């Protein structure tokens, strides 16, 4: 065996350096296992070559078929490694757990053991004291070990093949699952993008609505301030109205008191008015009686005057016929005064009757509750005086009825009476 054979650690470093950077953890684990199997097979092959150099053709012939089989397996493994190296890496595929082989596994040889095996021929060649039997025994032991190692390698190769098959199936399933998940994630991302756009649009709408609501809130705040101000004004007006109402209530109470006083005064006034009416009726009756008596007296005097006039007419007719001087002026003046008195009485009677009627109408038309009653109450004496009988100073009357009657008869004073008024003459009848 050549002395420049690489160690197991160096082989691992070379394999790791030749690995592509994009491999997954699962693929890296498989390559490590295959590389270890390759190294063990290579180590066994080296030991086999050493045994062939030492001798023992029978044992070597029994080992040859297994060696050829190992070469075939080694070629298949290299081909699979090339295929797996050309595949695209899948980052989202999780490495599957490698199934452990059942049975007892021999421990891997350490570097010291490999070096001791490599230096074994030199020791054997340099050791002249060892017999061929001992060497054959050792060779048999090595052959047995080689067989065990060969079986172990076959078991490991089978396990690696099964692991590779299962891992390939898992890789395809995981790739399909990854594609499905990728589509799902793309759809979800698209839906989320649409949702984000919709949310942004909703947020912008909500911001505009918020601005509008803030404006409305400001308007409502202003309206509330105005309403509070109006409420304060209304409260002030209400207080003023309450004060006015209190004053009005006081005025109403005073008005009630005044009404009560007015009612009492009205009742007293009505009683006084009734008394005055009764007095007025009594005075009216007495006045009617007096007027009646005066009328009777006037009629009696009128009859007397008419008789005297007739007598005077007869005397005048006699004087005219006898050319006697007429009656003296004194007698005529007396008669004239008497006729004037009768005419003045008649005129006063005619003037008093309408005055009495007017007074009665005024008293009947005025009720106790009207202001006319107050005027009557204040001036009762004036109304009574207006109903008094005849005034003391009557208005100046026109020509007397006696003069009219005398003028109608054609009895006028002769002009001779005016001339002889200064020197009156005696009536001849008076002497008789």
Instruction: Tell me the pLDDT band of 166, cut-offs 50, 70 and 90.
Output: confident
Q: Give counts: helices (H), strands (E), the chain.
A: 12, 0
Alpha-helical regions (H) of 19-131: 25-54, 57-86, 111-118, 120-126
pLDDT surpasses 50 at 86: yes
Pair 166, 29: CB distance under 8 Å: no
pLDDT surpasses 60 at 150: yes
Q: Which two tokens stand for residue 46?
A: 């080296």
The DSSP 8-state label assigned to residue 103 in this structure reads S
Distance CA 57, CA 75 (A): 27
pLDDT tens digits, 238-267? 999 999 999 999 999 999 899 999 999 989
Mean pLDDT of 167-172: 86
Q: Which two tokens stand for residue 202?
A: 């909703």
- Give pLDDT, residue 347: 57
Alpha-helical regions (H) of 323-379: 329-365, 371-378
Instruction: Tell me the pLDDT band of 374, cut-offs 50, 70 and 90.
Output: very low
- Give pLDDT, residue 81: 72
Output the CA angle 367-369-373, nearest 5 degrees: 65
Q: What mean pLDDT value characterizes the chain?
A: 69
Q: Which two tokens stand for residue 317?
A: 């007719």
Pair 116, 46: CB distance under 8 Å: no
Instruction: Please report, for residues 189, 244, 394, 408, the alpha-carbon distance to residue 319 in angstroms, rounded to integers and kept in the order given.
Output: 169, 99, 38, 20
- Classified as helix, coil or strand, 395 is coil
Q: Which two tokens stand for residue 380?
A: 């009762």
- Give pLDDT, residue 416: 64
Picking from 135, 133, 145, 74, the residue whose alpha carbon sits closest to that of residue 107 is 145
Pair 326, 316: CB distance under 8 Å: yes
Cβ neighbours of residue 129 under 8 Å, at least 6 residues apart?
none
- Give pLDDT, residue 84: 66
Pair 18, 54: CB distance under 8 Å: no
- Give pLDDT, residue 369: 43
């Amino acid at each position: 065996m050549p002395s420049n054979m690489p160690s197991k650690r160096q082989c691992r470093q070379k394999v790791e350096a030749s690995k592509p950077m994009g491999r997954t953890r699962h693929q890296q684990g498989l390559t490590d296992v295959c590389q270890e199997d390759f190294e063990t097979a290579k180590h066994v092959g080296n030991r086999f070559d050493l045994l062939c150099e030492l001798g023992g053709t029978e044992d070597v012939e029994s080992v040859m078929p297994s060696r050829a089989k190992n070469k075939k397996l080694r070629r298949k493994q290299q081909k699979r490694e090339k295929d797996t190296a050309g595949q695209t890496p899948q980052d989202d595929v999780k490495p599957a757990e490698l199934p452990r082989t059942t049975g007892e596994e021999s421990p891997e040889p350490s570097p010291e053991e490999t070096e001791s095996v490599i230096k074994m021929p030199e020791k054997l060649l340099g050791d002249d004291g060892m017999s061929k039997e001992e060497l054959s025994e050792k060779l048999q032991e090595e052959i047995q070990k080689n067989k065990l190692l060969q079986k172990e390698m076959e078991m490991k190769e089978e396990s690696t093949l099964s692991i590779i098959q299962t891992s390939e199936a898992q890789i395809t399933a995981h790739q399909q699952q990854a594609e499905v998940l990728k589509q799902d994630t793309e759809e979800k991302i698209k839906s989320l993008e649409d949702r984000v756009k919709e949310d942004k649009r909703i947020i912008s709408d909500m911001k505009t609505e918020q601005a509008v609501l803030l404006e409305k809130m400001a308007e409502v705040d202003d309206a509330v301030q105005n309403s509070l101000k109006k409420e304060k004004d209304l409260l002030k007006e209400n207080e003023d109205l309450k004060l006015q109402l209190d004053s009005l209530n006081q005025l109403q109470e005073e008005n009630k008191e005044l009404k009560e006083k007015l009612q009492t005064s009205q009742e007293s006034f009505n009683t006084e008015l009734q008394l005055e009416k009764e007095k007025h009726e009594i005075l009216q009756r007495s006045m009617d009686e007096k007027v009646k008596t005066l009328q009777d007296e006037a009629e009696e005097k009128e009859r007397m005057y008419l008789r005297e006039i007739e007598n005077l007419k007869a005397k005048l007719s006699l004087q005219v016929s006898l050319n006697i001087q007429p009656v003296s002026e004194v007698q005529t003046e007396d008669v004239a005064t008497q006729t004037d008195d009768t005419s003045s009485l008649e005129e006063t009677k005619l003037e008093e009757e309408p005055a009495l009627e007017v007074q009665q109408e005024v008293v009947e038309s005025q009720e106790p509750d009207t202001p006319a009653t107050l005027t009557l109450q204040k001036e009762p004496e004036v109304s009574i005086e207006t109903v008094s009988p005849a005034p003391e100073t009557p208005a100046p009357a026109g020509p007397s009825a006696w003069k009219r009657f005398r003028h109608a008869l054609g009895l006028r004073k002769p002009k001779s009476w005016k001339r002889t008024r200064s020197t009156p003459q005696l009536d001849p009848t008076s002497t008789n």
